[in-house]
Structure 1
Amino acid sequence: MDHYTFPRELRLLTPKNFQKVFSKPVRASTPEITLLAITNEQEHPRLGLTVAKKQVKLACRRNRIKRIMRESFRQHQHELPAVDIVAICKKDLQHMDNEAIHKLVRKLWRKLGRRCNG
């Protein structure tokens, strides 16, 4: 049975982990979000989020975006290969409603999964 949780081991926590992803990533992007991924040595995917204050000024909006991204990752983690993913959110994302963000991110998970497996 699959467990749909988001424990500490499914997160990118250190700057070293983020730098590794930025070195030679596989990309999946839209004008609002860019996902960068690189294969890892674990048996599961890991997620790191960046929502820059320069892009999204209000903390409540940054937190809402991160909360939606984490929830979407939690629900789709079993469909993803063993990769480290960094999600870079851009300015236009803050004006989208929650359902539109969920739909956009679902599409990006599928696109990233195909690119990393194929």
Structure 2
Amino acid sequence: MQCASNQVRYTFSRELRLLTPGDFKSVFANPTRAASPHLTLLAIPNGNQHPRLGLTVAKKHVKKANQRNRIKRVVRDSFRLHQYDLPQVDIVVVAKKGIDELDNAAIHKLVDKLWRKLTRRCNES
């Protein structure tokens, strides 16, 4: 039986979230970007031992609340599974027009690709 301290935890606890407007504002200031036609990921290094995630899905781009929630749920799930592969950065995921037309699997695949691109760009800088 494994000791609890050695287990890898795939949770999305409060400490893994960007919570305040100030957290978001600092990321928008001078970020490293990874983008696709449907999503943009913005990241800046943080002083923590783990990455943190913030999500913005504007009503202007995704009209229905259930679609906005679905997109956020899929992105959070992908982050939860990839959190140990990501560098120590604060990430804001910005949804763009047309993302609500993608199904969950397509969004998951897209976000996975963008995590890799963002990790590569953060490691270069």
Q: TM-score, normalised on structure 1?
A: 0.99
Percent identity over paired residues = 64
The separation in 1 between residues aligned to 2:8 and 2:110, in whole angstroms, is: 24
What are the residue-to-residue correspondences of 1:42-57 with 2, within 5 Å? 42-57=48-63
What SS is found at the alignment partner of 1:117?
Answer: helix
Equivalence map 1:1-118=2 (5 Å):
1-118=7-124
Q: Which runs of 5+ in 1 are unaligned?
A: none
Determine the C-alpha separation between the residues in 2 that align with 1:56 and 1:93. Answer: 8
Q: What CA RMSD, in Å, does the superposition of the two structures yield over aligned residues?
A: 0.5
Q: Deviations over 1:52-83 (max 9, x none)?
A: 01110000000000000000000000000000
Quote how far apart the aligned CAs of 1:109 are: 0.2
Deviation string, structure 1 residues 11-66 (Cα, Å, up to 9, x no partner): 00000000000010000000100000000000000000000011100000000000
- CA drift of 1:2 comes to 1.7
Residue type at the aligned position of 2:8: D
Tell me the TM-score normalized by structure 2.
0.93
Gaps of 5+ in 2: 1-6
3-state secondary structure, aligned to 1:42: coil
Query: What letter corresponds to residue 33 of structure 1 in structure 2?
Result: L
Structure 1 position 105, deviation (Å):
0.3
Q: Alignment length, in residue pairs?
A: 118
